């Protein structure tokens, strides 16, 4: 389990929302079932006190189904990170804030979803050691470690639905163009956030 982490983990969770690719969930079930034949599928299961993931996940584009159970927490917010070579989960959880971001690479997160809801996300995972953390802002946040192994047939890249442009000073501009079939017009929405 994980004691309340300093600002570094909370900041990492925030970055999972805006700066990293989308992610999906895992369970101890076979982690190589195909998602519509395009990508492997894994399942992560989150409860109030536990995060269950498969021991091994294939590399490349992977659909992760996050299944959550209702309970004492209102929401689940999971992120996935690749540990740098030679770094352990304990190094991350017990390390100081200054060195924290030099020991991992954030791969993605789901944002917050209500307990009892499910979400599917896609991540591009390279071989190595990983960990997932649920609700980093809470006391005793569940964590789970897993290994991403070489895949003989990596999954297909998903089709893009929008563009995220990051600029100097961590300004994030999100631009999404969509067609509204009922009106027959196109619209662009832009969100700018400065940290």
How does strand 39-46 pair with strand 60-68? parallel
How crowded is residue 66: how many other Cβ atoms within 10 Å of its Cβ?
Answer: 27
CA 7 to chain centre: 18
Question: Each residue of 144-195: pLDDT tens digit?
Answer: 999 999 988 878 888 877 666 666 655 454 444 444 434 333 333 334 344 4
What percent of the chain stands above pLDDT 90?
Answer: 35
Interior CA angle at 144 toward 63 and 100, to 5°? Answer: 100
State yes or no: pLDDT of 13 exceeds 80.
no
Identify the CA nearest to 193 among candidates 1, 19, 48, 11: 19
Distance CA 109, CA 95 (A): 21
Question: Each residue of 32-45: pLDDT tens digit?
Answer: 344 456 899 999 99
Question: Each residue of 92-149: pLDDT tens digit?
Answer: 888 877 667 788 998 998 888 999 999 999 999 999 999 999 987 777 789 999 999 9
Specify the pLDDT at position 98: 66
Specify the pLDDT at position 118: 93
SS (HEC) of the chain: CCCCCCHHHHHHHHHHHHCCCCCCCECCCCCCEEECCCEEEEEEEECCCCEECCCEEECEEEEEEEEECCCCCCEECEEEEEECCCCCHHHHHHCCHHHHCCCEEEEEECCCEECCCEEEEEEEECCEEEEEEECCCCCCCCEEEEEEECCCCCECCCCCCCEEEEEHHHEEEEEEEEEECCCCEEEEEEEEEEC
Classify domain 7-159 at the CATH class level: mainly beta
């Amino acid at each position: 389990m994980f004691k309340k982490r300093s600002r570094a983990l909370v900041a990492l969770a925030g970055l999972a929302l805006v700066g990293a690719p989308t992610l999906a969930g895992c369970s101890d079930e076979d982690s190589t079932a195909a998602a519509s034949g395009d990508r492997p599928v894994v399942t992560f299961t989150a409860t109030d006190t536990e995060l269950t993931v498969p021991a091994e996940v294939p590399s490349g584009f992977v659909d992760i189904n996050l299944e959550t159970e209702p309970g004492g927490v209102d929401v689940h917010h999971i992120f996935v990170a690749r540990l740098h070579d030679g770094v352990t989960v304990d190094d991350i959880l017990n390390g100081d804030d200054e060195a924290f971001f030099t020991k991992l690479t954030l791969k993605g997160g789901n944002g917050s979803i209500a307990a009892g809801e499910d979400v599917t996300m896609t991540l591009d995972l390279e071989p190595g050691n990983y960990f997932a953390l649920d609700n980093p802002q809470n006391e005793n946040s569940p964590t789970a470690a897993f290994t991403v192994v070489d895949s003989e047939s990596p999954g297909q890249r998903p089709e893009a639905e929008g563009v995220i442009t990051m600029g100097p000073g961590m300004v994030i501009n999100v631009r999404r163009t969509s067609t509204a079939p009922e009106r027959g017009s196109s619209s662009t929405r832009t969100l700018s956030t400065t940290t």
